[in-house]
């Protein structure tokens, strides 16, 4: 029998021990170190983010009645983004894109700063024609996107709870709907499921002039729990009501994607990174990639499209008979 030197064995063991210790410390020190508070927020903190604080100016309460949608696409836009809405309706947001798969499309809008009655009238007409607009009466600004996100979750829970999956997706995104549907259909349906591009090393910006500035008063911790890039993420619809419930305990911050991450952390729900290995691919691509049919065929989203780029890209993507 070949003899394995004892000293070597010991060294190996010591190394292994050290390694596991590091892993343990690392895991302990990451997400788990962010404390949770289990008393609900004082009214003045919760009220601004509570969907009950605002009222609907336009709604589609019956959109999901007498059907069980497979997927609800929830797209935050501003009133003036008419061109984006038109492009989405003609491309990835069109109905009956995937045979026998029921997909619902809803745009979520707040109230613009300059409230032009003419623009509001046009929106009303658009809403009557397309039946895909939900509007609430909070000020539609970048810093209020957290409010909009909670409004979407609340709408989903109230008006579309029988749907299986929902996706929050920005308007400037290319969405490969058939790939997404396949991806979801090829796995067992589970609750508490949320997937996209997971960011594990997020930290708050303390520079007052940053677009993403966060004061220590609002968020004293020096890192974020894992969260999904807000460009696009997909989740099982049961999470909508859980996130709305969680938000009663989580101090609202103006970073909507991090805020959802904080609610998930409160709920002990781990976001799942949608990626492939060999070759490595982030399926929710948060860089902008130059359009190339076969590159896009293997991704769920790609970011950074103007409405006309979207229409242009889509028409090529839909061309028959391509193989990659």
143 binds ligand NAG (CB under 6 A): yes
CB of 143 to ligand NAG, least distance (A): 4
Of 151 and 267, the one with the shorter C-beta distance to ligand NAG is: 151
Q: Which residues contact 217 (CB under 8 A, 6 or more apart)?
A: none
141 binds ligand NAG (CB under 6 A): yes
Task: Collapse the DSSP code of 259 into the 3-class scheme (helix H, G, I; strand E, B; otherwise coil) and give the result.
Answer: helix
* Part of the chain binding ligand NAG (CB under 6 A), chosen from 71-79, 138-146, 169-177, 307-315: 138-146
CA distances to 173, 273, 321, 322 from 317, rounded to whole Å, are 14, 25, 10, 9
Strands 103-111 and 133-139: parallel
* Part of the chain binding ligand NAG (CB under 6 A), chosen from 86-94, 137-145, 161-169, 306-314: 137-145
229 binds ligand NAG (CB under 6 A): no
The residue count for binding ligand NAG (CB under 6 A) is 5
Query: Site for ligand NAG (CB under 6 A): which residue of 10, 18, 25, 139?
Result: 139
Nearest to 225 by CA among 184, 190, 253, 191: 253
CB of 144 to ligand NAG, least distance (A): 4
Separation of alpha carbons 263 and 242, rounded Å: 9
Sign of CA dihedral 119, 125, 130, 136: positive
Strands 71-76 and 103-111: parallel
Of 30 and 53, the one with the shorter C-beta distance to ligand NAG is: 53
CB of 135 to ligand NAG, least distance (A): 12
- Write out the residues near ligand NAG by the rule CB under 6 A: 138-139, 141, 143-144
């Amino acid at each position: 029998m070949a003899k394995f030197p004892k000293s070597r064995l010991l060294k190996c063991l010591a190394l292994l021990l050290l390694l596991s210790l590091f892993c343990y410390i690392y895991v302990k020190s990451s997400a788990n170190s962010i404390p949770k508070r289990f008393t609900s927020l004082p009214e003045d903190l919760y009220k601004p983010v509570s969907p009950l604080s605002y009222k609907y100016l336009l709604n589609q309460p019956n959109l999901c009645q007498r059907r069980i949608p497979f997927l609800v696409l929830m797209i935050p836009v501003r009133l003036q983004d008419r061109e984006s809405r038109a492009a989405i309706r003609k491309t990835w947001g069109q109905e009956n894109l995937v045979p026998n798969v029921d997909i619902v499309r809803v745009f979520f809008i707040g109230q613009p700063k300059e409230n032009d009655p003419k623009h509001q009238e046009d929106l009303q007409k658009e809403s009557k024609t397309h039946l895909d607009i939900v509007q609430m009466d909070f000020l539609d600004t970048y810093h209020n996107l957290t409010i909009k996100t909670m409004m979407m979750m609340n709408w989903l829970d109230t008006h579309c709870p029988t749907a299986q999956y929902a996706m929050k997706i920005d308007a400037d995104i290319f969405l490969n709907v058939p790939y997404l549907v396949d991806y979801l259909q090829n796995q067992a349906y589970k609750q508490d499921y949320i997937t996209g591009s997971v960011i594990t090393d997020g930290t708050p910006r303390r520079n007052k002039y940053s677009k993403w500035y966060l004061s220590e008063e609002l968020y004293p911790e020096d890192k974020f729990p894992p969260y999904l890039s807000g460009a696009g993420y997909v989740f099982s619809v049961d999470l909508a009501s859980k996130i709305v419930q969680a938000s009663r305990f989580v101090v609202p911050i103006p970073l909507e994607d991090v805020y959802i991450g904080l609610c998930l952390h409160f709920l002990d729900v781990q976001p799942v990174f949608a990626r492939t290995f060999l070759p490595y691919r982030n399926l929710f691509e948060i860089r902008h990639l130059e359009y190339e049919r076969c590159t896009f065929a293997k991704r769920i989203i790609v970011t950074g499209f103007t409405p006309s780029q979207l229409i242009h890209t889509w028409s090529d993507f839909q061309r028959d008979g391509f193989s990659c």
